[in-house]
Amino acid sequence: MTIYLDHNATTALDPAVFEAMRPYLIEHHGNPSSIHSPGRIARTAIDNAREQVADLVGAHPTQLIFTSGGTEANNLALNVLACREVGTFCVSAIEHPAVLEPAYQWQARGWELELVPVDANSIVDKFAVAKMLRRKPVLLSLMMANNETGTVQPVESLAHQAREHGVIVHTDAVQAAGKISVDFNALGVHLMSLSSHKIYGPKGVGALVVDKALDIPPLLLGGGHEKGRRSGTENVAAIVGFAKAAELARDQLDRRSRHTLDLRNRLESALNTIAGVHIIAETAQRLPNTTLIAVSGVEGETLLMSLDAKGIAVSSGSACASGDTEPSHVLRAMGLDDSLAQSTVRVSFGKDSTQAECDAAIVAIRELTQMSQKMASVAW
Ligand SMILES: Cc1ncc(COP(=O)(O)O)c(C=O)c1O
């Protein structure tokens, strides 16, 4: 059995989520736009799901647009620029590619893109943001928690500052939701992206939460679903699954968070005793489940493959960038030395991870580190 320690990449479907979805995969196959009773059953399921997902982040159900996942939610959020006069917008340098790539597209269409720098812990530079805000950008996009390092960003204070300048604020909360408390209104953001498969829900479904006062042009045009904001027949079973996952995440937030933090602390205390192992952004406020480690002199990909051979699944840098041997844009933005940046692996615990799995990872990392250090000294 694989020891799966890559929960920031994706999570397994919770059996309770599967049970909630099952009737909508088989029995209740109606189209929610149909007005007959099978259609109405599907519509009611979506309405209920909207309430449950909104509840996870303290939003109003009418503020939610269901999407095909976090990527679409981020693309849609940036589409807020589509109906505004061309100007400047700001995006943090450590955003997920699902924000950065659309941002580059907007730049190619004539918008001026300002990348917000981060410090050595991958926390955005507040002074740089304050300076940028004085230029009255149209939008500021700042993720709540980074998928690679796990660092939690000061979204609330910056969002309130940005609002004073009339700036629209988007936060990608895909990694934060279900791991730390996330409150749409308290944060003071206008737009928030969510994804189901990071919280034990099905893949291919997510949501964008939108401030009621904000007009956002749709990416997909068609039958006018989601009140014209996202056309396409709804994936009812997936939406129901997302909602069940959101309900469980909200109810179990404290337990999951304490559990993963205990495991992470156990892992980090052990790794701190191994020469050549560094924990990245160790002193920063991070997601409770995430640790990014660098092992001097060992390629991250090599470490990942060696751990995989021992039945332990972790990720090197961003899951989406895996297979890419270049240091990730996040580690570059932090100013991490290139050779150390190439030596990183991310361990991300989940609600069902165990102490035994954590200990197996410690033993394997220790063995691999010591073995490669021995080989390096022989080579000298
Ligand atoms: C921070 C962040 N944003 C967005 C996404 C994309 O979400 P999805 O896989 O649902 O498209 C991910 C996925 O890894 C992510 O970590």
192, 138: one domain:
yes
329, 230: one domain:
no
Q: Which atom of ligand 1 is nearest to the CA of 196?
A: 10
Going from the Cα of 205 to the center of ligand 1, the distance in angstroms, rounded, reads: 11
From the CB of 70, is ligand 1 less than 6 Å away?
yes
Q: Is the pLDDT of residue 377 over 80?
A: no
Where is the domain boundary, 216, 251, 286?
251
Q: Is the pLDDT of residue 272 over 80?
A: yes
Q: How many CB atoms lie within 10 A of CB 261?
A: 16
Number of domains in the chain: 2
Residue 376: pLDDT band with limits 50, 70, 90: confident
**What's the half-sphere exposure (Cβ side, CA atoms, 13 Å) at 123?**
16
235, 319: one domain:
no
Q: Which atom of ligand 1 is nearest to the CA of 9?
A: 14
Domain CATH for 345:
3.90.1150.10
Q: Please, what is the average pLDDT of the chain?
A: 95
234, 278: one domain:
no
Going from the Cα of 40 to the center of ligand 1, the distance in angstroms, rounded, reads: 32
| pLDDT score recorded for residue 323 | 53
How far apart are the C-alpha atoms of 380 and 374, rounded to whole Å? 10
The two tokens of residue 372 are: 């490669």
199, 300: one domain:
no
Going from the Cα of 98 to the center of ligand 1, the distance in angstroms, rounded, reads: 7
| pLDDT score recorded for residue 379 | 60
Going from the Cα of 333 to the center of ligand 1, the distance in angstroms, rounded, reads: 19
209, 243: one domain:
yes
CA angle, 210 then 189 then 138, to 5°: 90
The residue whose CB lies within 8 Å of the most ligand 1 atoms, and thus the one to mutate among 11, 198, 208, is 198
Percent of all residues in the chain with a pLDDT value above 70, rounded to a whole number: 97
From the CB of 103, is ligand 1 less than 6 Å away?
no
- Active-site positions read 320
How far apart are the C-alpha atoms of 170 and 137, rounded to whole Å? 13
300, 228: one domain:
no
Where is the domain boundary, 251, 278, 311?
251
* Segment 76-93 mean pLDDT: 97
Span 349-364, pLDDT tens digits: 999 999 999 999 999 9
268, 366: one domain:
yes
What is the distance between the terminal CA atoms of the chain, rounded to a whole angstrom? Answer: 38
Q: Contact at 8 Å (CB) between 329 and 100?
A: yes
Domain that holds residue 150: 15-251
Where is the domain boundary, 251, 268, 287?
251
Percent of all residues in the chain with a pLDDT value above 90, rounded to a whole number: 92
233, 298: one domain:
no
* Segment 181-206 mean pLDDT: 98
From the CB of 320, is ligand 1 less than 6 Å away?
yes
| pLDDT score recorded for residue 318 | 42
User: What are the φ/ψ torsions at residue 152 (nearest 5 degrees)?
Assistant: -95, 130
Q: Could you tell me which of 268, 307, 288, 243 has the C-alpha nearest to residue 8?
A: 288
235, 285: one domain:
no
From the CB of 189, is ligand 1 less than 6 Å away?
no
263, 247: one domain:
no
Span 28-65, pLDDT tens digits: 999 999 999 999 999 999 999 999 999 999 999 999 99
* Segment 203-219 mean pLDDT: 96
| pLDDT score recorded for residue 294 | 95
Domain CATH for 24:
3.40.640.10
The residue whose CB lies within 8 Å of the most ligand 1 atoms, and thus the one to mutate among 6, 141, 174, 287, is 174
Going from the Cα of 70 to the center of ligand 1, the distance in angstroms, rounded, reads: 5
Span 293-329, pLDDT tens digits: 999 989 899 999 999 999 999 998 644 444 556 889 9
pTM of the model: 0.96
Q: Contact at 8 Å (CB) between 190 and 214?
A: yes
| pLDDT score recorded for residue 371 | 87
The residue whose CB lies within 8 Å of the most ligand 1 atoms, and thus the one to mutate among 94, 96, 100, 153, is 96
CA 328 from chain centre, in angstroms, equals 16
Q: Which atom of ligand 1 is nearest to the CA of 203?
A: 10
| pLDDT score recorded for residue 327 | 87
How far apart are the C-alpha atoms of 20 and 242, rounded to whole Å? 10
182, 258: one domain:
no
CA angle, 321 then 327 then 331, to 5°: 100
Going from the Cα of 171 to the center of ligand 1, the distance in angstroms, rounded, reads: 12
Q: Is the pLDDT of residue 135 over 60?
A: yes
| pLDDT score recorded for residue 380 | 52
